Structure 1
Amino acid sequence: MVASTWEWLRRKKPLVDAFFALPVLLMSLPSLLNDAYGIEKWQLGLLTVVLTGPLVLRRTYPRTVFAAVVAISGVQCLLGVIPVPANVAVLAGLYTVTAGRTVRWGVGALLIAVAGAGMATYRYPSGGDDRRLAFITLMVLVSGVYVLGLHMRTRRAYLRSVEERAERLERERDNEVKVAMAAERARIARELHDVVAHNVSVIVVQADGASYAIDTDVGRARQALEAISSTGRTALAEMRRLLGVLRENDDAGAFAPQPGVAQLDDLVEQVRASGLAVAYEVDGTPAAMSEGRQLTVYRIVQEALTNTLKHGGPRVTVSVRLRYAEDALEIRVDDDGRGAAAADDGRGHGLAGMRERVAVYGGTVRAAPRPGGGFEVIARIPVHEEVAA
């Protein structure tokens, strides 16, 4: 509410400027009851209006408004009319030009204001000491307003640079996340290549066996055909995902074996050897899963343990739990480390890659600090997928 109101006011410059010009007008009202200015009251009122009126547009047309109030004050001085409270509009114009325009325009406005102060000092009769005091007073006012305007100009330029830098960093961060997601998709594509190639190889072997056994052992041939059907469905499901992933032209490591659920024991032992206390348990009956799903499970646990090693702090303990349900596998990795207090440079992409992997199989993942301290990763991955005929 406050932010929206502020944005609306920033777009209504004349309205805001009129609000700030109102005190000048109110300050001039008592002078209308005073006969010490040597002019008629209606003339004094007209002078007050023509001096304060342009301030409504002081930020919209700062140089024009400053020139107008300076010209009016100059004519007033030439006619011998005593300065009125509304002449403070000259200082308001000086501040606006200095704060809103270039340094050159600010210096020019300062010189004009100094000349006006000198002109006003020697135009109106007074004693020598009084004249010097009046001139010094006017110079202090003019210099103070100029310095204030220069400070506000510098401050606004600094704030604009900070906002631009924040926007640039935000764009760079978004680009880094996109690059990380693209790289993760490419890595997933390379890993799925192994899975699909394995399934196709199994189909070829089973088909060759069925062709040899179809005349001599019908039962064995039927088993081979059932294996072909099951493996084909799995391969088709993997291919459907593979078509949606852009793969980089990089075959490095394409034939390296990929880890699965069975390798989690080795991973846990490896992490324990590094000094991290890890508790590992499996609930439920392990379901048969495709190699791609097993690889995703392995990578999720690996990334969660890596984050604990990097950010958990000393003497941290972590628990890894796999719970098999009828249709899904739940992965839960909890630690009692620093949690939300852990330092983060904003350049890690492990969590983004984790979400990408789980999304490939239609699962969900949640990674966040725990309320009581520590960090938790909870992922749910479907273990089966039906392929439309």
Structure 2
Amino acid sequence: MVVRWWNWARGKKPLVDAFLAIPLVLLVASGYAADGWDMSRPAYLSLSAALLLPLLLRRTYPRAVFAVISLVAFGQAMAGQPPISADIALLPALYTMAATCALRWSIAAAVVAEAGAFIATFAFITGWEDQRIGLFTLTVVVAGVWLLGLYMRTRREYLRSVELRAERLERERDTEVQIAMAGERARIARELHDVVAHNVSVIVVQADGASFAIETDTERARKALETISATGRQALAEMRRMLGVLRESDDAGSYAPQPGVEQLAELVEQIRESGLPLEFAVEGVPLEMSEGRQLTIFRIVQESLTNTLKHGGPRATARVCLHYGDDAIEIRVTDDGRGAAARDDGRGHGLLGMRERAAVYGGGVEAGPRPGGGFEVVARIPVREEVRA
């Protein structure tokens, strides 16, 4: 509610300035009702209006408003008219100059206001002692209003710089996330290229074999055609997924065979040699899976263990379990490291990459600290197209 009112008020400056000038109007009205003024009532009202009305535009045209009020007050002093309540309008105009204008303009405004205090003191106050007290009082008031304006100007600039910095950091963070996502998708596209290229190579070899055996060994040719059919369906499924992760260039990475489930044992040994005690278990009957799914499983296990090495702590231990079900394989990687207490520098995108890899095959990844300490990553990858999430 307050923010909405503030946003509305920022666009209605004259209306807000008129509202803020109400106390001055009441002060002028009280002076009008009092007796003992040395000028006529019409002159008093005219001079008050000339001093107060410019305040309606003090934030829209601060320099012009200050100049008009200063000239009216100077003309009042030159005409020998004593100060009135409306002369206090010079202080809001001075504050606005100091709070919104450049430093040289605010200094000039302070000098003009101090000159006005000097003129008013020696023109309408008699007695050296009273003049000294009056000049000191007016100087303190002018300096206080000017310093308050400078403080508000400095504070607004600081808040504006903080907002700009926050916006810049937010843009940089979004850019880093987009770059990381683009890099991860490009890597997935390269790996899927390897898988599809392998399948196409198998199709070519089987087709050549079938063309030679079709007249001499019909059974062998039939099996080759069945292999071609199965491999083609698999390659077509991989190609459909790759349409969503198109890359712009092919200049990064070589097209070497990618690791799969069989290479998990080598990965486990490599992690153990790095100093992390690791247990590896396989439950259920291993299923036949495409190279793409095997690569996804390998990368999820690899990234999870890498996170354990980075954030688990020196005494952490880990466990990797592959559970083969009828329709899906579940990957569970747990450790007893720092868990929620681990420091996060905000630059890692491993969990994002794991979720994108699993989503390619209709699976999902859940990751987070364990209730008893440590961290856990659970991924589920469907092994058949008909059970995709």
Q: Confirm or deny a common fold (TM above 0.5).
A: yes
**Paired position in structure 2 for 1:203:** 203
1:81-120 to 2 correspondences below 5 Å: 81-120=81-120
Quote how far apart the aligned CAs of 1:53 are.
3.2
For the 8 Å contact 1:190–1:247, the answer to whether it is kept is no
| Alpha-carbon separation, structure 1, partners of 2:125 and 2:71 | 22
Q: Distance in 2 between matches of 1:42 and 1:315?
A: 90
In the alignment, what sits opposite 2:271? 271
For 1:241 and 1:55, locate their aligned partners in 2 and report how far apart those are by CA, in whole Å.
Answer: 67
Partner of 2:360: 360
Q: Against the structure 1 CA distance between its residues 44 and 251, is the aligned structure 2 distance closer, same or farther, given a 3 Å change threshold?
A: closer
Q: CA deviation at 1:202?
A: 1.8
Q: Determine helix, strand or coil for the equivalent of 1:287.
A: coil
CA 1:121 to 1:181, structure 2 compared with 1: closer, same or farther past 3 Å?
same
Is 1:157 aligned to residue 157 of structure 2? Answer: yes
The DSSP-based 3-state class of the residue aligned with 1:331 is strand
Q: CA RMSD in A?
A: 2.8
Alignment of 1:276-291 (within 5 A): 276-291=276-291
Residues 131 and 187 (structure 1 numbering): CA distance in 2 closer, same or farther, change over 3 Å?
A: same
- One-letter code of the match for 1:381? I
Query: Any stretches of 5+ residues in structure 2 without a counterpart?
Result: none
Question: 1:37·1:81 contact (CA, 8 Å) conserved in 2?
Answer: no
User: How many pairs were matched up?
Assistant: 385
Q: Distance in 1 between matches of 2:17 and 2:370?
A: 50
Structure 1 runs not aligned, ≥5 long: none
Which residue number corresponds to residue 254 of structure 2? 253
List per-residue Cα deviations over 1:295-317 (Å, max 9, x = no partner): 11211222222223222334344
TM-score (norm 2): 0.86
- Structure 1 residue 96 displacement after superposition: 0.9
Q: Tell me, in whole angstroms, the C-alpha distance in 1 between the residues paired with 2:47 and 2:3.
A: 38
Aligned AA (2:78): L
Structure 1 residues 221 and 105, CA gap change in structure 2 (3 angstroms): same
Q: Offset of 1:341 from its aligned partner?
A: 4.5
Change (3 A) 1:76 1:325: farther
Counterparts of 2:238 and 2:372, CA distance in 1? 40
Query: Residue 76 in 1 paired to residue 76 in 2?
Result: yes
Identity of aligned residues (%): 62
Q: Could you tell me which amino acid in structure 1 is paired with residue 247 of structure 2?
A: L
Measured in 2, the distance between the counterparts of 1:304 and 1:239 equals 27
Render the CA deviation track for 1:314-371: whole Å, top value 9, x for unaligned.
Answer: 4344444444444444434444544454333333232333343334334333445567
Taking a change above 3 Å as real, the CA distance of residues 251 and 97 of structure 1, as seen in their structure-2 partners, is closer
What secondary structure does 1:379 align onto?
strand
Contact (CA 8 Å) 1:27, 1:85: kept in 2 or not? yes
1:214-225 aligned at under 5 Å gives the runs: 214-225=214-225
Q: 1:203 to 1:314 in 2, by over 3 A?
A: same
How far apart, in 2, do the equivalents of 1:77 and 1:150 lie?
A: 28
AA aligned to 1:240 is: R
Shift of 1:265: 3.3
| Matched-pair contact (CA < 8 Å) for 1:51–1:86 | yes
* TM-score under structure 1 length normalisation: 0.86
